[in-house]
Structure 1
Amino acid sequence: MNNSILVTLLGLGLLAFSCSDELDVQPAQSIDEGVALSSDETVKAVLIGAYDQVSDGDLYGGNALRDADLLGGTGEILFVGTFNSPDEIARKQITTGNADAEARWVESYEGINIVNNVLSALEVVNADDQARVEGEARFIRGLLYFDLVRYYAQAFESGQTNDQLGVPIVLTPTRGISAENDVTRATVEEVYAQVLSDLTTAADLLPETNGVFAGSLTASALLARVYLQMDRYADAREAADRVIESGVYALTPTYVGAFMNGSNTTEDIFAIQVNSQDGVNNLTTFYSVPEFGGRDGDIEVLDNHLALYEDEDARRDLFFERGGATYTGKFNNQFANVSIIRLAEMYLIRAEANSRLGTEVGATPTEDINRLRNRAGLDDLGDDDVDLAFILEERRRELAFEGFRIHDIKRLQGSVGNFAYDANELVFPIPARETVANPNIVQNPGYN
């Protein structure tokens, strides 16, 4: 590719994802390729470096989730912080020099390059571990490409050719700078095909569970999310049902119990590991207030969002007031893990897909929705009350501020204020440094 997305093998220490002495290697800023890819131990260390990379605050340490709500939350949340980049995103006035948009692009491709290095050296990995190592690397690459194409390209639309420009697909290590690195943008269709290839392969290769790392069920859960984004409802239903019916995960007894935890809960399918020594939780930084480790209460919750909840809903009780403003209480612990995929989402995906298809795979839509309502302290509803519109409203309540809003608006072809789902303003620009360095990169409409 080019300088802005070239990476030497960074962050190989077992940082946020420490779980065993076997993987406890010393952190390094860079490491010689001949050393890093020459043995089973060092290739596995590089894989740990990939997990550390995706835990960065610009990625799944918070901002990748935060920006989905800033971009899609007009009228329901208000950004009042002093940082210019998230303010541009919230106002839908993003510039090509936006620091957050640039960091997301660069950090994502650094992560992709790290796992490409891992995949290039599978032959030195112990035979018994090769499938697992390949599966984890492919899961990470699929996750990164999925969110790259959702932020930097127009939305995938089912039944269309989807030949709109996506993002560059790079599947081999970038280890030097040459004209060969000046790649072009693949189509949205091609990027989604690559995401599905990586995640289905990962689901086949990985063990069912894998500690805090990606397992087969983790890949299936992310596949359910991808299929839903593509309107492939039967596939989304089957993937979500596989995760639910595995019995490996369970809803936490209370809604608040799903958040602000220093270790994974029964509900966490995949989470970024954070502790007082390492890792970052930017959701706390921006959504919370100083007494809980946040900034100055940068993101306020408005009455239009609070009106979505019934008075008795325990999810409403999690909001709190400070200085006359309302904030979400989901992130009032700066050392809590960042939940990326949790079981509640799988129930919502299965309920929505079953509702759209008129099926009852695993459970009826009403049964799945009532599980979540009961956990929130609400009474059961009947089948007549739980139609598709209600399921989508329940999704907004249950998953609020967890990185879904703009992506749901786009797949449902809704709007954000005066902006239609396909407005240029709802797509991140390709960073200016990228278009300058790579003459083959075409900028998104509206940013030229």
Structure 2
Amino acid sequence: MKNKLLLSIFAICMLVVTSCSDLLDVEPKQSIDADQALNTPQKVEAAVIGAYDDLSSVDLLGGTVIYGSDLLGDDGSVTWFGTFSQPDELWSKNILTDNSFVRDVWLQGYETIDATNNALSALDVIEDSDMRNRVEGQAKLIRGIVYFELVRLFGRDWSDGDPSQNPGVPIALEPTRDFDNPPTSRSSVEDVYIQVINDLTDAKALLPSNIEIDNTVLGNTYVASAYLSRVYLQQREYEDAGLEAGRVINSGNYSLTPLVSGAFNNPTNSTEDVFAVQVSDQDGANDMNTFYAGSQYSGREDIELTGYFDLFTGLFDSDDDTRDDFIHFGASFGGPLTSKWTNFRNGNINIVRLAEMYLTRGEASFRTGNDINGFPAEDDFNMVRSRAGQEDIDATDIDLDYIFTERYIELAFEGHVLHDTKRFERSASGIPWNDPSLIFPIPQREIDASGGELEQNEGYGS
């Protein structure tokens, strides 16, 4: 299943087709001459829209990148009860090199990157400078997001050894014409991060503050800043992370929903959504719903919060914390499940929420000892705590344990726990943060296609 963007975005794509017969006469995309496929501004823009569709796939932001990270980084709060062996391998930290879910993250990632490279290679056909900037910015935003997700999953953490020597993922910046000969050289983790930052910085400069298409479905300049804040946070560049998060907060474009529950399961972006995968009842699928929700919400009840009451619930400071009871019980098996993903037909998948930006700026202020944007760390944390019904925290009560816990509670089941575990150098189910088993293997398919030249990750054989 593949997640799709809202129907109206596909209507935009249809505008670039001159007639229904033209659409029916299109040959397979691998046989279309590039000069014909991207010879008008509208076709180049449509290629970027297609890249968003790829990005929202269940193999990327519509599923595996999120729940896969949470399963691999789980420290006892959930249990995989599903019949699919591939997610079970993630949860048990025993991934096989032929895991098809991992393979499809790699394949969909590079397909999405290739779509952006195709669009970027054809910018010369766009004479209007505003349109050209918009198309270039969107393409670089998507490419930066995908490379960041790939290097975090398939490469060692930034602080795990020497990022200039550790293998990351292959960097491809030109369109791929020969799919039978994939790239075989892995760039270093450092080089991939440099590419990510370059792409996102360009996108930040090129994109406007709003994209007036279906409730800002497409990324804007603040989405680029939000992802830059994640990149810098993973690099332990805390001041830069805080400044980028602060730029999003101070934009005035977003506000916390009055209730935590109001941030989820919405058919359109809420006031809190900086970026979200759009799912409509006409088109799209939501693998977060598939695996996390009860059967009464069209889910499979595969990921149960078995450790929730002893581990997760015990983290809350107050019985009044509304995040404490944001659960439901499966109709088929009766287990406790998160209620963040219960809207099957038209519930958006939250990728970046404003609450995360407050937590990032608060952490950055604490770690640097500076009040970034003039806001003390406790002010940012208390924005999130107050919305959840918790009492304010004092500056003297903030430490790294508190920050990790606050993020763990607020951002649970949204794809953060693996990466936060590595940043805070903690363990996942007793496995140290820098253990190779907490990294995806390079898919065996890619190793074979490279003739063995593509380097496998440590712990997974040659």
TM bin, normalised by shorter chain, reads over 0.9
Q: 2:338 aligns with which of 317, 328, 346?
A: 328
Matching of residues 332-411 of structure 1 within 5 Å: 332-334=342-344, 335-362=346-373, 363-411=375-423
**Does the CA contact (< 8 Å) of 2:7 and 2:282 recur in 1?**
no
TM-score (structure 1 length as normaliser): 0.93
Structure 1 residue 208 displacement after superposition: 1.5
**Does the CA contact (< 8 Å) of 1:264 and 1:271 recur in 2?**
yes
Structure 1 residue 272 displacement after superposition: 0.5
Q: Which moved more, 1:159-168 or 1:347-356?
A: 159-168
The match for 1:131 is 133
Structure 1 residue 18 displacement after superposition: 2.8
Q: Which moved more, 1:81-90 or 1:415-424?
A: 415-424
TM-score (structure 2 length as normaliser): 0.90
- Partner Cα separation in structure 2 for residue 345 and residue 161 of structure 1: 26
Opposite residue 8 of structure 2, the aligned amino acid is: S
Q: 1:307 aligns with which of 298, 304, 314?
A: 314
Deviations 1:309-347 (A, max 9, x none): 232110112112344421111111112011111111100
Opposite residue 360 of structure 1, the aligned amino acid is: D
Structure 1 residue 231 displacement after superposition: 0.1
**Does the CA contact (< 8 Å) of 1:318 and 1:329 recur in 2?**
yes
Deviations 1:397-432 (A, max 9, x none): 100000000111112211112211111111111111
Q: What residue ranges of structure 2 are gaps of 5+ in the alignment?
A: 18-22
**Does the CA contact (< 8 Å) of 1:271 and 1:341 recur in 2?**
yes
Opposite residue 335 of structure 2, the aligned amino acid is: A
The match for 1:249 is 254
Cα gap change, 1:298/1:414 in structure 2, threshold over 3 Å: closer, same or farther? closer
**Does the CA contact (< 8 Å) of 1:17 and 1:273 recur in 2?**
no
Deviations 1:336-380 (A, max 9, x none): 011111111100000000001111123111111111111011222
Deviations 1:290-313 (A, max 9, x none): 110101343334231222223211
- Partner Cα separation in structure 2 for residue 111 and residue 299 of structure 1: 31
The match for 1:432 is 444
The match for 2:236 is 231
- Partner Cα separation in structure 1 for residue 383 and residue 7 of structure 2: 31
The match for 1:447 is 460
SS of residue paired to 1:307: helix
The match for 2:425 is 413
The match for 1:143 is 145
The match for 1:85 is 86
**Does the CA contact (< 8 Å) of 1:74 and 1:90 recur in 2?**
no
**Does the CA contact (< 8 Å) of 1:17 and 1:48 recur in 2?**
no
In angstroms, what is the RMSD of aligned CA positions? 2.0
The match for 2:8 is 18
- Partner Cα separation in structure 2 for residue 117 and residue 103 of structure 1: 21
Cα gap change, 1:15/1:339 in structure 2, threshold over 3 Å: closer, same or farther? closer
- Partner Cα separation in structure 2 for residue 24 and residue 364 of structure 1: 49
The match for 1:219 is 224
SS of residue paired to 1:316: coil
The match for 2:20 is none
Aligned residues: 436
Opposite residue 114 of structure 2, the aligned amino acid is: N
SS of residue paired to 1:271: strand
Cα gap change, 1:242/1:15 in structure 2, threshold over 3 Å: closer, same or farther? closer
Cα gap change, 1:422/1:291 in structure 2, threshold over 3 Å: closer, same or farther? same
SS of residue paired to 2:79: strand
**Does the CA contact (< 8 Å) of 2:229 and 2:242 recur in 1?**
yes
Deviations 1:89-130 (A, max 9, x none): 100110010010000000000000000000000011242311
Deviating 4+ runs (over 6 angstroms): 26-29
- Partner Cα separation in structure 2 for residue 110 and residue 389 of structure 1: 39
**Does the CA contact (< 8 Å) of 1:113 and 1:172 recur in 2?**
yes
Q: What residue ranges of structure 1 are gaps of 5+ in the alignment?
A: 1-10
Structure 1 residue 20 displacement after superposition: 8.1
- Partner Cα separation in structure 2 for residue 149 and residue 399 of structure 1: 21
Structure 1 residue 22 displacement after superposition: 4.1
Q: 1:291 aligns with which of 284, 289, 296?
A: 296
- Partner Cα separation in structure 1 for residue 162 and residue 459 of structure 2: 22
**Does the CA contact (< 8 Å) of 1:14 and 1:23 recur in 2?**
no
SS of residue paired to 2:315: coil
- Partner Cα separation in structure 2 for residue 192 and residue 182 of structure 1: 18
**Does the CA contact (< 8 Å) of 2:305 and 2:337 recur in 1?**
yes
Cα gap change, 1:98/1:312 in structure 2, threshold over 3 Å: closer, same or farther? same
Opposite residue 243 of structure 1, the aligned amino acid is: V
- Partner Cα separation in structure 1 for residue 325 and residue 406 of structure 2: 16
Opposite residue 325 of structure 1, the aligned amino acid is: G
**Does the CA contact (< 8 Å) of 1:44 and 1:133 recur in 2?**
yes
Identity %: 42
**Does the CA contact (< 8 Å) of 1:158 and 1:231 recur in 2?**
no
Structure 1 residue 253 displacement after superposition: 0.9
Cα gap change, 1:120/1:374 in structure 2, threshold over 3 Å: closer, same or farther? same
The match for 1:111 is 112
Cα gap change, 1:350/1:22 in structure 2, threshold over 3 Å: closer, same or farther? same
Cα gap change, 1:306/1:124 in structure 2, threshold over 3 Å: closer, same or farther? same
Deviations 1:277-299 (A, max 9, x none): 11221111000111101013433
Cα gap change, 1:219/1:17 in structure 2, threshold over 3 Å: closer, same or farther? farther
**Does the CA contact (< 8 Å) of 2:138 and 2:219 recur in 1?**
yes
1:317 and 2:346 matched: no
Structure 1 residue 24 displacement after superposition: 3.6
**Does the CA contact (< 8 Å) of 1:50 and 1:115 recur in 2?**
yes
